[in-house]
Structure 1
């Protein structure tokens, strides 16, 4: 076992809900300790700015360009991350100088690996200056530059998390804005990819129709009727038949087919689509999973969890059933990946992103 690092991870996901903060101790291979996790929500006003930034970023051709409002959004986003870390350290009485390294995801505003583009807003050098700690950021770019999908990046951490769980093969299912799976074989082999939308389309729908940020508990979907013909239409998209590894942008699918539906029927149909997309992932596994472990905010959506369970033919259990905080997995993963990147260890693999060989990545900004 090598040197133990105390690393802090920061995640702002495709659901645009806020900043997740977590601390772990690791040697880059094993999880030696997991601390408190917390989420610091974005204001409605900043969430609207981020949504506008997504629209502006859609035209980017240069991943370093920050036209229009993107530069100001990036600076403010970084300052919010610094504030979140300050609150987190104070709330949990953690000394800043006890943190050896910070893993900073930033905010993905464009992900088109087929065009060699992935853009995460976030100024790692500014964050390092604000925190007085070294920051590892831009962890997706090297993989995309080498021909990989640049996502998902959490599988190496998923494997470390699942080290003590006997069932194999198993799947760690992350239900964020976009859903992704990590299939872990008997020998630790990893296969990972995005399955399709999880919460993003549902969130956008209920916000537009009902002014609510998300479908709390899946109650709106539960009172609606699924239009299976629309679900089938979405599932005919070539993405689902394409071999893994593969990844999706948050806005890859058009909600137009449900435009005329009631809020409830639209939510039910979108939820069924997310569940069906997860179930479709099984076609790309060499062996059927014996267990699915769900993390991410979508695990709180009872309608989504029930629909997934009905479709995958194996137990689907929340991360908490295995003493894993389902809200903090992605932030913890970024702490873990930051240490691996600093040590020059691989963070992406042929079975997870399609890169030709295992590859490290990231940019280090020293304080």
Structure 2
């Protein structure tokens, strides 16, 4: 199938779109990719929804207005790809993720998107997994395994978005049953929030502030004492799960640069402490975090093995997640599993997703 995958992550920066030809087992071809940024007003309104989501009613006018505008940006992205497709994979925007309460919430109007584009839309990728007792995340491992088929193993594929997650593929582990995946901890989310609050900028460009600061070890150790890090994977996070511990950590007494350095160290150490069964020979990094030299240098020092952006293999590190949801959309239509016991903790391989017809 020719599929356009769409992804809008917890960094709230915009919509990534990618054209993929796939049968849901392998990738037959790649096509155009692009990003359509959210405007400042939509980004601000989505950030508010993250804060109020636990008490938000489905009919709240703020939710419905943001959902309509968000879906319109996704439709714009599909049209901008400029290449015909038979299916769209529409992840939507996560505003709440509480798998321990059997709850995950991605907003976006699939019916509106199908009507706007004239293309069938696969959506709601996570709910079936969460309802069955899984974490509902991460969902990228099946795609990672398809991409990494010929790579030496064990290998770890790390995505650093608002939250960071890893897929670990063991030696001889080309089947989905051998995959292990989980959220390692914070990605760019706390750092981006810190930078925006103190400088008005959306992120720490080139890691400049973090590299000019000093890590406060006492604050870092308090952050690493969060109970999440003692949980056994598979496990997953909401973007704001560390908000309370960050508020209580003493971060607010740090300079902007020292706070940035400490948050980078928090992301790096959470990844370095990821409980993998066997150390990976190599880490491959996608997501916005791979563009932050402070994070990448920190990972190389902490992990002691090669750490490279996925772009070094010719993969598109900006489009990887959008490509993933194109791949998963094909699996939805084919009735293939999206998640597995080692990736989300679901009791058995789990199909999922729904389709809105054009």
Task: State the TM-score, normalized to the length of structure 2.
Answer: 0.96
Deviations 1:14-66 (A, max 9, x none): 00000000011111111111112111111111111111111221224x7xx24
Q: Report the alpha carbon displacement of residue 68 of structure 1 after superposing the two structures with TM.
A: 4.0
Q: Pick the aligned partner of 1:145 from 131, 142, 148.
A: 131
Q: Pick the aligned partner of 2:282 from 274, 291, 314.
A: 291
**1:364 aligned to 2:355?**
yes
Deviations 1:144-164 (A, max 9, x none): 000000000011000111112
Query: Distance between the aligned counterparts of 1:148 and 1:59, measured in 2?
Result: 23
Query: Distance between the aligned counterparts of 1:149 and 1:302, measured in 2?
Result: 31
**1:209 aligned to 2:194?**
no
Aligned runs of 1:1-367 on 2, under 5 Å?
5-60=1-56, 65-89=58-82, 94=83, 98-165=84-151, 167-186=152-171, 187-188=173-174, 189-254=178-243, 255-256=246-247, 257=249, 258-281=251-274, 284-367=275-358
Q: Report the alpha carbon displacement of residue 172 of structure 1 after superposing the two structures with TM.
A: 0.3
Structure 2: unaligned runs, 5 residues or longer: none
Secondary structure of 2:147's counterpart equals helix
Structure 1: unaligned runs, 5 residues or longer: none
How many residue pairs were aligned?
Answer: 350
Query: Distance between the aligned counterparts of 1:252 and 1:274, measured in 2?
Result: 14
Query: Distance between the aligned counterparts of 1:66 and 1:322, measured in 2?
Result: 45
Instruction: Kindly indicate whether the alpha-carbon contact (under 8 Å) linking 2:42 and 2:69 is maintained by their aligned counterparts in 1.
Output: no
Instruction: Kindly indicate whether the alpha-carbon contact (under 8 Å) linking 1:18 and 1:41 is maintained by their aligned counterparts in 2.
Output: yes
Query: Distance between the aligned counterparts of 1:183 and 1:348, measured in 2?
Result: 14
Q: Report the alpha carbon displacement of residue 334 of structure 1 after superposing the two structures with TM.
A: 0.3
Query: Distance between the aligned counterparts of 1:52 and 1:208, measured in 2?
Result: 14
Instruction: Kindly indicate whether the alpha-carbon contact (under 8 Å) linking 1:141 and 1:150 is maintained by their aligned counterparts in 2.
Output: yes
Secondary structure of 1:164's counterpart equals coil
Task: State the TM-score, normalized to the length of structure 1.
Answer: 0.94
The CA RMSD measured in Å over matched residues stands at 1.0
Q: Report the alpha carbon displacement of residue 67 of structure 1 after superposing the two structures with TM.
A: 2.1
Query: Distance between the aligned counterparts of 2:349 and 2:59, measured in 1?
Result: 30
Most deviating of 105-114 and 251-260 = 251-260
Secondary structure of 1:259's counterpart equals helix
Instruction: Kindly indicate whether the alpha-carbon contact (under 8 Å) linking 2:113 and 2:121 is maintained by their aligned counterparts in 1.
Output: yes
Instruction: Kindly indicate whether the alpha-carbon contact (under 8 Å) linking 1:56 and 1:70 is maintained by their aligned counterparts in 2.
Output: no
Secondary structure of 1:34's counterpart equals strand
Secondary structure of 2:260's counterpart equals helix
Dislocated runs of 4+, deviation >6 Å: none
